[in-house]
Structure 1
Amino acid sequence: MLFDGSMHQLPDTDPSETQEWLDSLDSVINVHGKVRARYLLSRLLEKAQQSQVSFPATVSTPYVNTIPRDHEPWFPGDEHIERRIRAFIRWNAAAMVVRANKNAEGIGGHLSTFASSASLYEIGFNHFFRGKDDGNAGDHIYFQGHAAPGIYARAFL
């Protein structure tokens, strides 16, 4: 049982009352449906909050398509051109790693690190990261070290 945000084994001080509550929930679901049960549970949680009864957060959000397509913001760049530039950067990074592997084996992991994050870096470079201007300090960006070949490849372009 979860209590105060930590796991604790709490004894059930009134098992028959607990069973009555569980039976009541089953009855509501069977007679009135899951929507009604959800409503009643929501009201109970509201009442518990008003009575300052603490309980763990029950926040849950979807991970895929959290923004409906019709609510997505307009993309500020040219997706086709940016995709092509990313391809050139990945190619340059791959060439850099292949060349480096001729001198010392085992550098391949650097390539996969950048390849898996290239889109994130490029969106950041093109649309989010800001330099010093208008008296602002500018963004301080700390790159994952193994992504360095991709960052160097971008600078080369």
Structure 2
Amino acid sequence: MTSQLPDRDPEETAEWVESLDALIREQGTERAQFIMRSLLQRAGSQSVGVPMVTTTDYVNTIPADQEAEFPGNEEFERRYRAYMRWNAAVMVHRAQRADIGVGGHISTYAGAATLYEVGFNHFFRGKDHPSGGDQVFFQGHASPGMYARAFMEGRLSEEDLDGFRQEKSKQGHALSSYP
């Protein structure tokens, strides 16, 4: 947890760090954890803005050597996601033609592409699955990515993609922003 603020009193800071080191050395890590948690709680109750510590007991609990092998081809899937992000971005860009004046959202899909694609490739079940298919609802702003995937799978044409957000002017080949 680094700070961009200058240290106004490096000597005092060094004393606090030395005190923590001594606490760990003399009383162990459990006591040091207790003291640190108590200090953080007190800082919170005094409205001291303390950055959130992002590690918890529930993060990275499986050691790397015990993780299951990735079930697919990571390099291929990474490249495929890059193509879909690109196609989604181009589709939104092309929808922003000057004479039409509509926009679109590219960051929702771009940021969540890995989550969606791991789901598509390894978790979501199709309608022919013996247990029945999954019904998956996506955030509407992610639709450019869903359309880009359908294009890569051959279910939509380039003409269809050019109909993104053109429900009135491209009837028959229009794609809604919120399918």
Q: Displacement, 1:105?
A: 3.8
Q: Displacement, 1:66?
A: 3.1
Length-normalised TM-score, structure 1: 0.58
Matched length: 104
Length-normalised TM-score, structure 2: 0.51
For 1:112, the equivalent position in structure 2 comes to 107
Secondary structure at the counterpart of residue 96 of structure 2: helix
For 1:92, the equivalent position in structure 2 comes to 87
For 2:72, the equivalent position in structure 1 comes to 77
CA shift digits 1:30-57 (9 cap, x unpaired): 9x8246869xxxxxxxxxxxxxxxxxxx
Alignment partner of 1:61 out of 57, 61, 64: 57
Q: Displacement, 1:106?
A: 3.6
AA of the residue aligned to 1:100: A
AA of the residue aligned to 1:66: T
Query: CA separation of 1:97/1:77 partners in 2, compared to 1, >3 Å: closer, same or farther?
Result: same
For 2:27, the equivalent position in structure 1 comes to 33
- Rounded to whole Å, the distance in 2 between the matches of 1:95 and 1:156 is 13
Q: Displacement, 1:101?
A: 1.3
AA of the residue aligned to 2:139: Q
Cα RMSD, aligned residues only: 2.4
Secondary structure at the counterpart of residue 61 of structure 1: coil
Higher percent of residues as helix: 1
CA shift digits 1:95-146 (9 cap, x unpaired): 1100111122442xx1011000001111110000001235422111000100
Secondary structure at the counterpart of residue 72 of structure 2: coil
Larger radius of gyration: 1
CA shift digits 1:72-103 (9 cap, x unpaired): 11001001111111111111101110011112
CA shift digits 1:8-64 (9 cap, x unpaired): xxxxxxxxxxxxxxxxxxxxx89x8246869xxxxxxxxxxxxxxxxxxxxx5253x
- Rounded to whole Å, the distance in 2 between the matches of 1:117 and 1:35 is 38
- Rounded to whole Å, the distance in 1 between the matches of 2:75 and 2:81 is 10
Q: Percent identity?
A: 55
Runs of at least 5 residues in structure 1 that lack an aligned partner in the other structure: 1-28, 39-59
Q: Which has the higher contact order (CA 8 A, sep 6+)?
A: 1
For 1:50, the equivalent position in structure 2 comes to none
